[in-house]
């Protein structure tokens, strides 16, 4: 038995990634499956068509032919409703779905009786680490954020001893020591900056210090379920804000990464604090798409407040498309290992906790409770 796997070209403005790379395509072809790639789908991520052809994939020039008979469709961005119109009933779509912001796509998935798995819903368990696309892309985002901050900062990052005197290293502050934050810390350290970091989870301190950064400690333990941070109390927030504000005023570059899944990003940097920051300081807000950690952040824009720049980049992983695509494709390869059985057939039993946890829609039914509630509320 074999499965037809199709990968369309991403059409979202600014998206340069692709959901498969030649190395992964070759493995699925070697396993007896048919891999279809929309022509030029990998061009922006520097995976040319001929590389996919050498891997044994079929390059198809138009989307309708690509999706005709496709059994599993792999995407990076949530599929647009018009893409779903071409798929046959029962086809599976796998990728980031961001259902709360893409209810129209969820409706089309439901109404056309398609099955969709949202990679952002994969349980954070040990067995699913190889499938954790949120973490792989957050790694890319943390790296790119520091480069963006360094490019906007009017100072050198490393200490320099020159004939013109000694240049002191820049100070970088990273708020949030999750995957993106740790990568930001490591990148800033490699560039020679002095790095401070803060996270409400005290357990993160050991990881921060292992990277050579100073961990700002507050006697609060806000570790929540699943490794995420819980919401702070009002008193805890006041203490946190006081300490963070002091660190902000001595930083040259600030990278904020704090996110609470499914909720608005926590507000960590007030406008009044920005006004007290050093002239030339830069804030790179990785939570811009979910409301921003800084009060002044505008998604996709750079805001100048006095002598401070506040950057609200969106989709930073797309700025490093080659390796971001490679990591994402590996995540999908591991996930498809659960969707395709040893006999080369798609599974129909989604009881595995990884599949059940990430199942958004199945055969005309929305399985993800928060999305089902959102749809009901939108229809009311």
In a domain, 379, yes or no: no
Among the candidates 319, 336, 357, a domain finishes at: 319
Residues forming a β-bridge with 34: 4
Q: Are residues 226 and 176 in the same domain?
A: yes
pLDDT at 162 over 70: yes
In a domain, 126, yes or no: no
pLDDT band of residue 201 (cuts 50, 70, 90) is confident
Please identify which residue in the block is written with the tokens 């892309």: 137
Q: Are residues 313 and 206 in the same domain?
A: yes
pLDDT at 186 over 60: yes
pLDDT band of residue 379 (cuts 50, 70, 90) is confident
Q: Are residues 187 and 75 in the same domain?
A: no
pLDDT at 120 over 90: yes
In a domain, 378, yes or no: no
In a domain, 271, yes or no: yes
pLDDT band of residue 230 (cuts 50, 70, 90) is low
In a domain, 134, yes or no: no
Q: Are residues 315 and 356 in the same domain?
A: no
Can you give the CATH number for the domain in which 36 is found?
3.40.50.720
135 is catalytic: yes
pLDDT at 307 over 80: yes
pLDDT at 60 over 70: yes
Q: Are residues 244 and 287 in the same domain?
A: yes
Q: Are residues 164 and 101 in the same domain?
A: no
What is the average per-residue pLDDT within 267-275?
93
Among 135, 152, 245, 305, which one carries the catalytic annotation? 135
Which range is least confidently modeled, 17-21, 87-91, 95-99, 261-265?
A: 261-265
Tell me which H or E stretch contains 118.
strand 115-118
Among 17, 77, 108, 132, which one carries the catalytic annotation? 132
Q: Are residues 39 and 150 in the same domain?
A: no
124 is catalytic: yes
C-alpha span between 75 and 114 (Å, rounded): 15
In a domain, 340, yes or no: yes
In a domain, 103, yes or no: yes
Contact 128, 121 (CB under 8 A): no
Residue 295 backbone phi and psi in degrees, to 5: -60, -25
Among the candidates 319, 340, 355, a domain finishes at: 319
What is the average per-residue pLDDT within 29-50?
98
Structural domains in the chain (count): 2
Domain with 65 in it: 4-121+320-366
Tell me which H or E stretch contains 310.
strand 308-311
pLDDT band of residue 203 (cuts 50, 70, 90) is confident
Q: Are residues 258 and 355 in the same domain?
A: no
Contact 58, 36 (CB under 8 A): yes
In a domain, 222, yes or no: yes
Q: What is the pLDDT of residue 223?
A: 65
Q: Are residues 214 and 90 in the same domain?
A: no
Among 11, 63, 107, 124, which one carries the catalytic annotation? 124
pLDDT at 219 over 70: no
Mean pLDDT of the chain: 93
Token digits for 112? 């056309």
132 is catalytic: yes
Q: What is the pLDDT of residue 75?
A: 98
Residues 135-149 pLDDT 10s: 999 999 999 999 999
List, in order, residues 6 or more apart from 4 with CB less than 8 Å away. Answer: 33, 34, 36, 69, 70, 71, 72
C-alpha span between 113 and 90 (Å, rounded): 6
Q: Are residues 76 and 149 in the same domain?
A: no
Among 202, 228, 230, 241, which one carries the catalytic annotation? 228
Q: What is the pLDDT of residue 228?
A: 60
Residues forming a β-bridge with 173: 196, 254
152 is catalytic: no
Q: Are residues 203 and 287 in the same domain?
A: yes
Among 40, 129, 130, 210, which one carries the catalytic annotation? 129
∠319-320-325 over CA atoms, to 5°?
Answer: 115
C-alpha span between 233 and 210 (Å, rounded): 29
Q: Are residues 211 and 328 in the same domain?
A: no
Q: In Å, how far from its chain's centre is CA 73? A: 20
């Amino acid at each position: 038995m074999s499965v037809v796997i199709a990968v369309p070209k991403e059409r979202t403005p600014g998206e340069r990634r692709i959901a498969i790379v030649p190395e992964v395509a070759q493995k699925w072809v070697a396993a007896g499956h048919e891999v279809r790639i929309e022509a030029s789908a990998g061009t922006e991520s520097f995976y040319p068509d001929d590389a996919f052809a050498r891997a044994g994939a079929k390059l198809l020039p138009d989307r309708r032919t690509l999706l005709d008979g496709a059994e599993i469709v792999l995407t990076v961005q949530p599929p647009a409703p018009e893409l779903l119109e071409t798929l046959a009933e029962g086809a599976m779509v796998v990728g980031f779905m961001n259902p709360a912001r893409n209810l129209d796509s969820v409706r089309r998935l439901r109404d056309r009786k398609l099955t969709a798995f949202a990679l952002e819903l994969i349980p954070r368990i040990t067995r699913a680490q190889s499938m954790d696309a949120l973490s792989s892309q957050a790694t890319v985002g943390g790296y790119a954020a520091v480069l963006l901050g360094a490019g906007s900062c009017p100072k050198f990052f490393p200490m320099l001893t020159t004939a013109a005197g000694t240049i002191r290293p820049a100070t970088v502050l990273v708020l949030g020591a999750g995957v993106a934050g740790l990568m930001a810390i490591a990148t800033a350290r490699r560039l020679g900056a002095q790095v401070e970091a803060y996270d409400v989870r005290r357990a993160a301190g050991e990881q921060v210090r292992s990277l050579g950064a100073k961990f700002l400690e507050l006697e609060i333990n806000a570790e929540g379920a699943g490794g995420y941070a819980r919401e702070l109390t009002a008193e805890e927030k006041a203490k946190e804000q006081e300490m963070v504000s002091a660190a902000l005023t001595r930083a040259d570059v600030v990278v904020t990464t704090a996110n609470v899944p499914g909720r608005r990003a926590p507000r960590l940097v007030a406008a009044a604090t920005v006004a007290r920051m050093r002239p030339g300081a830069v804030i790179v807000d990785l939570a811009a798409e979910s409301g921003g950690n800084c009060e002044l952040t505008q998604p996709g824009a750079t805001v100048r407040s006095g002598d401070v720049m506040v950057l609200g980049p969106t989709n930073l992983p797309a700025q490093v498309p080659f390796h971001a695509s490679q990591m994402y494709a590996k995540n999908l390869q591991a996930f498809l290992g659960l969707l395709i059985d040893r006999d080369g057939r798609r599974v129909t039993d989604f009881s595995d906790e990884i599949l059940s946890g990430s199942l958004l829609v199945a055969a005309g039914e929305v399985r993800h409770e928060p999305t089902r509630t959102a749809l009901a509320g939108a229809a009311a």
